[in-house]
Structure 1
Amino acid sequence: MVSCSGLHRGVVFSLLLTAIATPNRLWAEVDSTYNTYGYPGLIDMPAAVSPPDAELALSFSHFHNNTRSTLTFQFLRRLSASFRYASIQNTHLTSATGAPVIHFRFDRSFSLHYRFRDETPRWPALAVGLNDIIGTGVYASEYVVATKTLRHNVRVTGGIGWGRLGSMNGFSNPLGLFGSNWRHRHQMDLDADTGGELKLGDLFHGDAAFFGGVEWQATPRLKLIAEYSSDSYDSEDGTTFDRRIPLNIGAVYRLRPMTTLAVNYLYGSELGVQLSMALNPKQPPFSGGRDPAPPPVVARGTPAAELLEVSVAEADKPALETRLRDALAAQSIELRGFSLTPTIARVVISGGAPNKTAQNIGRTARILTAILPTQIETFELIPLSHGLAPSQVTLQRRTLEREEFALDGSWASYAQARIAPAEAAALPPETSFKRFRPHIGVYLQPAFFDPDEPLRADFGLQASAQFEPRRGLIFSGSLRKKLIGTLDQSTRTSDSVLPHVRSDGYLYDRDGDPAIPELTAAYYFQPGDDLFGRMTLGYLEPMFGGLSTELLWSRNDSNFAAGIELNYVQQRDFDQLFGFQDYKIVTGHVSGYWSLQGGFDLQLDVGRYLAGDWGSTITVERTFRNGWRLGAFATFTDVSFEDFGEGSFDKGLMLTIPVGWVSGDSTQENYATVIRPLQRDGGARLKVAGRLHEVLRAHQRPGLKNGWGRFWR
């Protein structure tokens, strides 16, 4: 039993009393913030609160010998998922000389926090959480917690924890009523455990303990917190952390919206700081974007439409095409095909970010009302992606004239549009050829959560180009020159018993300067109804080159797609130029794709990986209408956890940020990264740009429906 001094009891009691006595009419409601572990909570303890849906937060906390960096995503309105990287400094006395020896432990862990009941005027909110469920066990714990707002600016929390959260003043597990095995929990061997295994047998087992706290929103920007902690810090105290009492107090100050700075006094002896920064994909920095203003609909029968009163036979079609191409170019849309009949105009377009496909269709239709003769009643619009035409959107001119300013114009225009598969044989001839797109810019290549360093990165110049001599045939390549970086500073040599298909990555970073990350020729084609194909030849990615082939069945109106990919590749030289090493492999997968409600996508891949292992990968991803994508994946193959090595199996988080979301511009560029606890050789899949499902998903009916809110923008 640890008791607190009278001084500390007085400080905490005064804080609680002041909080309860403060009139609630003065201040705002209590902010929900992140604890030192990076998930919703008090200071060290959890709370039954949740940040707004889709919020993505990065937290950094430090006190004495503990530093934690945590990425937390509100994956659902009630579910938070956190990935944590911690540096723990332990000091031990050696038996030989008695001199202190400092040992650093770098630990990666994963947490889930689920709020299963909302707060009501009578009942508190309730949440359950799991910490370090696939890590080494340093932070392994579980909890059930309740949070209730007492007054407008005062909130209290109480809960019961197991594992680490049951280690201070613990008692026999009340779940022991269901069997004596609930009272026992395996002791973790933190030095032997390589992490990565899902430890379900110990969940909610062993001793339990109570924790709790109170939050007082003193001002709209300042929140004060006091808590009782049930964590004894047995795993990492060493001899330098003097844990005197189980009480913590802290102050959280909101520097700006979604950015907070916290100062904490922990366990009667330590001063800690924490910085939390968040953003929400639903809230872009530029709410209206920097796109040019949309052109107006020119309604027939108005003075502006008088010049359009000519027959189609009398119209100057080359002049119409030139005007249409120029008007579309002003909207960053490229005219790829154009044809007229007495009542129908068929237009093929490309360009812009995939999430803006519906917007491009809407703007193209508006432009057509201002250019085409009034006899043209039907617009057939075909958006191209990598030369493929997965769908055709048919709009009636009168619908555009009627719905432009309607309150429900977006939904009405979607309900009256016909979205069907495009008929490849009916596509009009292309109006332009030999599209060459050069680009010179900078690149940033980060590597997160290295076992010896939380963040490494390279920064440099990149020149890239794409040449499309005909529809569907695309030549592309890039050349990089590093200016500064630390990716090549890893001192870990691979100890993998598998072929070194990924674990020698630092050698590519060291020798590949300058480097050719990609140099390929790709051909996209449509061999049949609802069937699409791809062949890509060349230096496919920094580590492998060869031939990649793919066939995808994807019906225009279906939420399900299925495909098969087969690759023959050879490992590239470490300098990432033109040479190859001896290692060759045939690899490929059968894949299923499901589009679920709420922007969620599920993908299952089954097949052979780069190291010759066989298995499957499951991926869950959430896509937002503005192009943001966040997801997680896990791969299990016939490689044992022991042969895989540290981490036990391949897993990670995926993040894609559209550049246009940050800049407000209309661009197809994305910043994409994969955050892995550790990159090993098992479960490694070939990286190929332009896989078919990625190319088509935004251009078929489910994707168009998801983005149709931009039709009138």
Structure 2
Amino acid sequence: MMRRSQLIRRLLATTLPAALVVGSATSTAVADPMLARNMSSFGMPGGIDTPTAETLPDGTLGGTLSYSDFARRANVTFQAMPGLTTVLRYSRIEGIPDGDDDYISDRSFDLQYQIVDEQGWRPAVAVGLRDFLGTGVYSGEYIVATKNITPTIRASAGLGWGTLAGKNRVIDTQDTGGKPNVDDWFSGGAKPFGSISWQVNDKLSLVAEYSNDNYLASYSDGRTYRQGDTEPDSNINLAAYYRLGRAYEVGVYTIGGETFGAQFSVALNPREAPYPSGLEKAPAPVRPRPSPAADPEGWSGSWSQDPTAQPAIQKALGDALADEGQILESMALSSRRAEVRIRNQRYVNQSEAIGRTARLMTRALPPSVETFVITSTADGIPTSSVTLSRSDVERLENTEAGRIAAASTISDPELRPVGLVRSEDIYPRFRWAIKPYLDLGVFSAADGLTHEVGAEARATYEISPGLELTGALRQRVFGDVFQRGPGIPGQNREYYTPEEYLADPSLETTPEGVPRVRSDTRMYTGNHDPVIPELTLAWYTKPTENVYTRVTAGLLERAYGGVSAEVLWKPAASPFGFGAEINRVRKRDFDQLFSFRDYEVTMGHVSAYYEFAQGFTAQVDVGKYLAGDKGATVSLTREFANGWQIGAYATKTDLSDEEFGEGSFDKGISLSIPLAWATGQPSRERVQTTLRSLSRDGGAQLNVNGRLYDRVRDSQSVKLYQGWGRFWR
């Protein structure tokens, strides 16, 4: 039996996560990595139950649904870095009783890092952790190597610990889960596993594997359960996978020759949009200036003395920009320099809006104007200025976007530039829309996948620059989400009725004394009458060149109303940002109209932001949360040039594990996909969701719209230059 000392296990526990991050951030890829042929039933690149050392294309977001008599597994997979694969899993595991049910619902998280890729005689090698944050039903670690034997045959072999060695870890019945089970890592003896895959053709692949998993679950009170109805008769598993198009795959498999299963997988790569070039209309071409001899008056600048010149030019440019989905909010014009302040309403990448604006400026401005300053705004507040030479715009139109980027400068806008004239009929401005909504609930232990469908009317009235009134009205049409009180302590999947919860104010605090700030969220669902999810008055200002402020008052979200105030320091050319937010809020009544409940709290945080290369943004929030607990949230988000955003966060506060409940601390994954990626049509609309392992009261934040950082950074240096490839689009 292979053994590891306590010191070595702790060393592996502390150095492995660091190696994953540091190695991914510093390594330079010299070739495409060995890409997975199919996904395992655990959501990782692999065979059937065993992993391989393959990876997915960088940035891939995938999902796998796997069903057998042993379990139903729903996996969300993200290739976070070229070598780092992550999986968030929700499983219904058969055969393990939980109260009156003969199954348990389990959430788990996996990490795999490809240490080296295949090169010559050397195989690809990866190390991984399975179920290292859950209760430990699937807990195991492994080192695996994968090698192409022929162009169509690929073999993998590895050493596994825990379930991968057929030695299931003992689950502590008193453990609330959610923390790394560090002491178990790479302990208990290892056993070999392996797989062979045969790529029959472009669509069909066949897999055979040797697995040690005995599908048992053992608990610290001495109970041991067999998952599913039968014990695997052998260690050999077989599967066939069939690819449908570029993104989908179906498969059938057998575990030990007795148990059969089916699987469906989808993998979306943000770099492979359905419409890679987009369906937006082509921009107007740059118009070269006439020679000085052909237009001596235009070149002399004498036109600037005519008081009718700027209004006429501003009107013509404003109309042209409106056709491009931009609003020309204001303009300052002289004989040699022009500054335009624009609001981008159409394009995901601000660089595309700036590039199209520069083209139109060459067509609208007299030839003496050599310097273009294009200032982006958010909520009427200027956020950054890009300065370009008109000569460079004319000279570099048909070259790569990097050359115009090198010829431009980005800076903080002037607060009160001389000669700035606001365009007519910009304020006040009223916008409204009616559209359907879909609310999905995923990874719910009690309910599985839930949905609610209805219609939402949303309107915004912009009173003046930075001052806007926003409201929304929702009407549910159908769904399987209904009003329900929180769970009854000690009774599995039993809940207070809405009437019981409303009749007993003491239930609004957990037995551990924590206010129910989120664990009664289902009381806000299932309303058949119209509800008001948001009704706010927001005021945005910019007191200095680098400082932004926001004050929002009203019904801030469906569960809380009050006042939210924020300040942000964010220079346009800096990757750093610092902010602070304070909120005084009161809990709304469950009908989501204008009445309130008794609970109120003052909460807030200070924040630090840093934008790394390759689209990564780190954020740290330290402060007080909705339940009055104090702690910190760390989040890391990756954004791709086409607007995809995928992130992960973790929050730890001064609540004990028992006070927090199952999961021990708050954690989850956020996902935001621009609608333009799927439709090809230019739009700033997004589909967003947050996947949480559990919804608890500890570490709960206020969900107020319009926070400053996301609005300001869209047009600032790191994010702006990340999408600069679309400047000439």
TM-score by length of 2: 0.87
Structure 1 moving runs of 4+ over 6 Å: 305-308
Aligned to 1:112, what secondary structure does the other structure show?
strand
- Which amino acid counterpart does residue 263 of structure 1 have in structure 2? V
- Alignment partner of 1:627 out of 618, 624, 643: 643
CA-to-partner distance for each residue in 1:416-442, whole Å, 9 max, x for gaps? 112111011117232121111101101
CA separation in 1, counterparts of 2:322 and 2:291? 26
The CA deviation at 1:412 is: 1.5
Aligned to 2:711, what secondary structure does the other structure show?
helix
The CA deviation at 1:566 is: 0.7
- Alignment partner of 2:66 out of 57, 61, 65: 61
Residue of structure 2 equivalent to 1:52: 57
The CA deviation at 1:371 is: 1.3
Query: What is the RMSD computed on CA atoms of the aligned residues?
Result: 2.1
CA separation in 1, counterparts of 2:201 and 2:52? 21
Contact 1:250 1:262 in 2 (8 A): yes
Residue of structure 2 equivalent to 1:313: 305
CA-to-partner distance for each residue in 1:96-152, whole Å, 9 max, x for gaps? xxxxx8602111100001111111111111001101111011110000001111111
- Which amino acid counterpart does residue 293 of structure 1 have in structure 2? A
Contact 1:512 1:574 in 2 (8 A): no
CA-to-partner distance for each residue in 1:372-411, whole Å, 9 max, x for gaps? 11111111111111122121111111111100012x3x11
Residue of structure 2 equivalent to 1:640: 656
Structure 1 window deviating more from structure 2 (419-428 vs 108-117): it is: 419-428
Residue of structure 2 equivalent to 1:543: 559
Q: Name the count of aligned residue pairs.
A: 659
CA-to-partner distance for each residue in 1:126-182, whole Å, 9 max, x for gaps? 0011011110111100000011111111111111100101117xxxxxxxxxxxxxx
Residue of structure 2 equivalent to 1:688: 704
CA pair 147-242 structure 1, distance change in 2 beyond 3 A: same
Matched, 1:400 2:393: yes
- Alignment partner of 1:327 out of 320, 327, 340: 320
CA pair 439-494 structure 1, distance change in 2 beyond 3 A: farther
CA pair 372-292 structure 1, distance change in 2 beyond 3 A: same
CA separation in 2, counterparts of 1:363 and 1:188? 60
The CA deviation at 1:491 is: 7.1
Contact 1:620 1:631 in 2 (8 A): yes
Contact 2:437 2:454 in 1 (8 A): yes
CA pair 238-83 structure 1, distance change in 2 beyond 3 A: closer
CA-to-partner distance for each residue in 1:515-557, whole Å, 9 max, x for gaps? 1111101111112231111101111111111010011111121
Matched, 1:568 2:584: yes
The CA deviation at 1:368 is: 1.1
- Which amino acid counterpart does residue 523 of structure 2 have in structure 1? L
CA separation in 2, counterparts of 1:125 and 1:345? 56
Residue of structure 2 equivalent to 1:228: 210
CA separation in 1, counterparts of 2:548 and 2:421? 20
Aligned to 1:487, what secondary structure does the other structure show?
coil
Aligned to 2:40, what secondary structure does the other structure show?
coil
CA separation in 2, counterparts of 1:607 and 1:634? 14
Contact 1:225 1:251 in 2 (8 A): yes
CA pair 120-233 structure 1, distance change in 2 beyond 3 A: same
CA separation in 1, counterparts of 2:488 and 2:463? 43
The CA deviation at 1:661 is: 1.6
Matched, 1:256 2:250: no
The CA deviation at 1:344 is: 1.1
The CA deviation at 1:301 is: 2.6
Aligned to 1:696, what secondary structure does the other structure show?
helix
CA-to-partner distance for each residue in 1:657-693, whole Å, 9 max, x for gaps? 1122222222222121110011010000111111111
Contact 2:485 2:520 in 1 (8 A): no
Aligned to 2:557, what secondary structure does the other structure show?
coil
Residue of structure 1 equivalent to 2:78: 73
Residue of structure 1 equivalent to 2:413: 422
Contact 2:280 2:681 in 1 (8 A): yes
CA separation in 2, counterparts of 1:515 and 1:327? 40
The CA deviation at 1:512 is: 7.0
CA separation in 2, counterparts of 1:488 and 1:572? 18
Contact 1:33 1:51 in 2 (8 A): no
CA pair 513-657 structure 1, distance change in 2 beyond 3 A: farther
Residue of structure 2 equivalent to 1:157: 156
Residue of structure 1 equivalent to 2:465: 471
Contact 1:56 1:280 in 2 (8 A): yes
Residue of structure 1 equivalent to 2:170: 187
Matched, 1:279 2:279: no
Residue of structure 1 equivalent to 2:31: none
Structure 1 window deviating more from structure 2 (239-248 vs 149-158): it is: 239-248
The CA deviation at 1:698 is: 1.3
Aligned to 2:107, what secondary structure does the other structure show?
strand
CA separation in 1, counterparts of 2:617 and 2:611? 5
The CA deviation at 1:492 is: 4.8
State the percentage of identical aligned residues.
40
Aligned to 1:390, what secondary structure does the other structure show?
strand
CA separation in 2, counterparts of 1:537 and 1:491? 28
**Unaligned 5+ residue runs, structure 1?**
1-28, 95-100, 169-184
Contact 1:32 1:50 in 2 (8 A): no
Contact 2:649 2:668 in 1 (8 A): yes
Residue of structure 2 equivalent to 1:340: 333
- Alignment partner of 1:291 out of 277, 280, 285: 280
CA pair 545-326 structure 1, distance change in 2 beyond 3 A: same
Aligned to 1:642, what secondary structure does the other structure show?
helix
CA separation in 2, counterparts of 1:460 and 1:34? 35
Contact 1:53 1:76 in 2 (8 A): yes
